[in-house]
Structure 1
Amino acid sequence: MDISKKKFGELDGKPIYSYTLKMANGFEVTSINYGCIITDLKVPDAKGQLENVVLEFDRLEDYQEYSPYFGAVIGRVAGRINKASFSLEGKTYNLPVNDGNNHLHGGNTGLDRVVWEATLLEEKDFIGVEYSYLSPDGEEGYPGNVRLKVRYTIDNQCKLTISYEGTSDQATLLNLTNHTYFNLSGNGKRDILQHVLTLKSDQFLELNDELIPTGEFLPVQNTAFDFQQGRTIEEGILSTHPQNILAGHGYDHPFILTSNYNREILLEDPESGRSLTMETDEPCVVLYTGNQLAGDFKIRDLTAKKYLALCLETQKHPDAIHHSHFPSIVLNKNEVYRSHTSYTFSVSK
């Protein structure tokens, strides 16, 4: 086990550092204290070749200018908040409008765009880095001074665990996730259309034309949203289902999980032999298939293009503050917010 630290860049005169966690078997995760961004995640393929399976930049400036939330912690609230406002304890809060008429992923300067403090962790069975940040009362329009911790740990089983913790001195909203873009082919050599996804989910949330949940739960049965027995991502890209078309010919949908800590999310790339198994205590996962991933920028030596990678964002239901039948994302004064998701990588021989 090894932990290394090096300077990644500089922001407003403050150094930004990268922290690399590496196991003896070659499993390696690198993150930076800007946005808790995971910049590299190296795992072997079926032939033992180590390659990066996430999208990333190698310059801080590119994250600031181009990044569609590559690898970052998202908050205070992941996803969209309808009309960029909400009411809590009799008071209305107005948030930055940064996605059409709505508020997206914590605003213009969400948790993905701030500098976190880092503490290195080294135990007998794992190594890690713990990031901490105080989000002040009123930041991006949200109430409460919120103390946050995000912990990344890895072990010899090729498992990355992300743990979140938060407390507030007054009632607020909190719904965190990680926005890593996965491509199991390795170094982005192919798109993700032939990746096979299996989800323990029999419902997904219907979206309106602004990609806000309508509040309706739709059954997956007999649709391109049924991943219970596994299906390729391409099937959803080619689907004529109105919800696939609405999302830009793909997925940008919350799937309601029917099981937790039970191999509920499985992503496989048959050609490389790599697979990713995710387990979480969250009630849903947002599948985003990179439908809008395009632009005049390079992702290291790759050109940005649709379907180059996908996100699996474990969280509570988006826009929950406007739907009383969704799990609550209200964090009351002195309560402790906790969330855990693990990512275990393996290969088929």
Structure 2
Amino acid sequence: MRNLSTLFAGGVALAVAVTLPASAFAADATKAPAGTLSDGTAVTAVTLTAANGVSATILTFGATLQKFMAPDRNGKLADITLGYDKLSDYEKRPNYWGATIGRYANRIANGRFTLDGKAYQLPRNDGDNSLHGGGKGFDVQNWKLVSIKSGPVACAVFSLESPDGASGYPGTVRARVTYSLDEAGSLRIEFDATTNRPTIINMTNHAIFNMAGEGAPQGAMQNVLTIPASHYTPINAGLIPTGELRPVEGTVFDFRKGKPLEDGVRDGNDQQIVYGRGFDHNFALDKGLTAQPELAARLEDPASGRVLEVLSTEPGLQVYSGNFLDGTYVGKHGHLYRMGDGIALEPQKFPDAPNHSNFVSARVDPGKPYRHVMIYRVSVDR
């Protein structure tokens, strides 16, 4: 199967037809140069393409999901993730879009945690807090492309070594991310990591979705969201969980039966919405921590019929309604991204878990590898 993909090199869009040998495979894996970083480091783009037209393009920089194409009920393909066209923008204006997040996804209060009686200080890059690894996390590292493979399932494997003490975290961590796309168009992302010293690890993907298509003029707030969670973790003014598990019943945080995102995202009568400037909260999934991926969220655009199901082994789901998109970010196709233009659905351990004994632990020890499996499953509601 020959695959024609549009990629970028040095900020210039290129039509590339570089493939593995033709065969009866239902899913293709291809790679192409994606340009160079400011220090001259070469970046590679890998595109996985399923038989139904669904495709995912991943950059080695940040192990980033740069593009995710999905059909509507009429078969029209659209990119359902926000991001940049140019590699240089990912480097100069990083905003986590589609990136692999680590070592610790989400916030840690005051950038501090204690492990085995020793206190550790992380960079504070989000007010008083450390966010998504402290500003020099996995999202801005160029990962090594270990392998790609076509077949019934197309896959690409990326690896990264984070040395002991990087951004204040203990232990040398060897991380691996595997993206796999099956013939039906389900994108599986597996995060694996080992450490030589006790540490904390919490990895996820930070794709921001709009099922109407990236840059749709109506934004994403008419997307219908369902979350199987009867509790969420309320936050303080610094966006740090208080430690409480609060019922969603009777609040704007009740997504158990599905509702449009616009229902509650600007409800200033709820102090939690005021703190978050919209939704920027962790949901405690009813399934908890599981051995195999189970449903964490469902996102649908009724107009186009595009549906995304997010499955995960992790106990929490951070929902972020793009509250800090202020029109200063020029994204794909020259689109100015504004508040409400997309939503992040990030499966993970709870925010600030190392400082809350009642939350599922994020501790990882030598000989006990970290593993998180999540799936983006796209389909069409006809």
**TM-score where L is the length of structure 2:** 0.89
**Aligned-partner Cα distance in 1 for 2:97–2:283:** 21
The yes-or-no answer on 1:218 pairing with 2:246 is yes
Instruction: Determine helix, strand or coil for the equivalent of 1:297.
Output: strand
The equivalent of 1:313 in structure 2 is 346
**Deviation of residue 116 (structure 1)?**
0.6
Cα distance per residue 1:201-249 (max 9 Å; x no partner): 000001000000110111100111000101110012232211112111x
Residue of structure 2 equivalent to 1:241: 270
The separation in 2 between residues aligned to 1:266 and 1:104, in whole angstroms, is 26
Tell me, in whole angstroms, the C-alpha distance in 1 between the residues paired with 2:107 and 2:294.
28
SS at 1:237 equivalent: coil
Instruction: Give CA-to-partner distance per residue, 1:33-83, whole Å, 9 cap, x none.
Output: 010111110010011001100011121221122232100011100111111
Structure 1 distance, partners of 2:137, 2:172, is 14
Determine if the alignment matches structure 1 residue 288 to structure 2 residue 320: yes
Describe the SS at the equivalent of 2:263: helix
The worse-fitting range, judged by mean Cα deviation, of 9-18 and 258-267 is 258-267
Aligned pair partner of 2:73 in 28, 46, 64: 46
For 1:339 and 1:98, how far apart are their aligned partners in 2?
25
Assess if the C-alpha contact under 8 Å between 1:170 and 1:334 holds in 2: no
Amino acid at match of 2:163: P
Q: Distance in 2 between matches of 1:154 and 1:266?
A: 19
Residues 279 and 341 in structure 1, CA contact (< 8 A), matched pair in contact too: yes
Q: Who is 1:325 aligned against?
A: 358
SS at match of 1:165: strand
Structure 1 CA distance for aligned equivalents of residues 156 and 294 of structure 2: 26
Root-mean-square deviation (Å): 1.2
Q: Partner of 1:152 in structure 2?
A: 179
**CA drift at 1:124:** 4.0
Q: Mean alpha-carbon deviation: is it higher for 320-329 or for 57-66?
A: 57-66
Give the ranges of 4+ consecutive aligned residues of structure 1 lying more than 4 Å apart after TM superposition: none
In 2, the alpha carbon distance for the partners of 1:71 and 1:262 equals 21
Whole-angstrom CA distance in 2 between matches of 1:142 and 1:262:
30
The question of 1:270 aligning with 2:302 is answered: yes
Q: Encode CA deviations 1:155-212: one digit per residue, 9 max, x unaligned.
A: 1111000101000000011011110000111232131111110111000001000000
Unaligned stretches of 5+ in structure 1? none
Tell me the CA shift for residue 295 of structure 1.
4.2
The structural deviation recorded for 1:120 is 2.9
Map 1:116-127 → 2, pairs under 5 A: 116-122=143-149, 124-127=151-154
Correspondent of 2:89 among 26, 45, 62: 62
Q: CA-to-partner distance for each residue in 1:230-270, whole Å, 9 max, x for gaps? A: 1110012232211112111x200000111264434111100
1:106 aligned onto 2:138: no
SS in 2 for 1:8: strand
2: distance between equivalents of 1:144 and 1:58? Answer: 35
Distance 2:189 2:121 in 1: 30
Distance 2:197 2:87 in 1: 34
Equivalent position to 2:194, from 145, 164, 167 = 167
| Conservation of the 8 A alpha-carbon contact between 2:29 and 2:150 | no
Corresponding residue of 2:280 = 252
Give the Cα separation in 2 of the matches to 1:297 and 1:223: 32
Q: Are 1:194 and 2:222 an aligned pair?
A: yes
Looking at structure 2, the residues matched to 293 and 328 of structure 1 have their Cα atoms a distance apart, in angstroms, of: 31
Q: Is the 8 A contact 2:215 2:337 kept in 1?
A: no
Q: Residue 312 of structure 1: CA displacement?
A: 0.3
Which amino acid letter does the alignment assign opposite residue 77 of structure 1? Y
Corresponding letter in the other structure for 1:216: E
1:185 counterpart (194, 212, 216): 212
The answer to whether the 8 A contact 1:198-1:267 is kept is yes
Report if aligned partners of 2:179, 2:190 keep a CA contact under 8 Å in 1: yes
Partner of 2:24: none
Quote the residue 1:36 is aligned against: 63
What residue is the counterpart of 1:4 in the other structure?
A: 30
Distance 1:102 1:262, change over 3 A: closer
Task: Report the Cα distance in structure 1 between the residues aligned to 2:48 and 2:196, rounded to whole angstroms.
Answer: 33
Whether contact under 8 Å (1:204, 1:255) holds in the other structure is yes
For structure 2, list consecutive stretches of 5 or more residues without a partner in the other structure.
1-26
Distance in 2 separating the partners of 1:53 and 1:336: 32
Matching residue's letter, 1:308: D
Partner of 1:115: 142
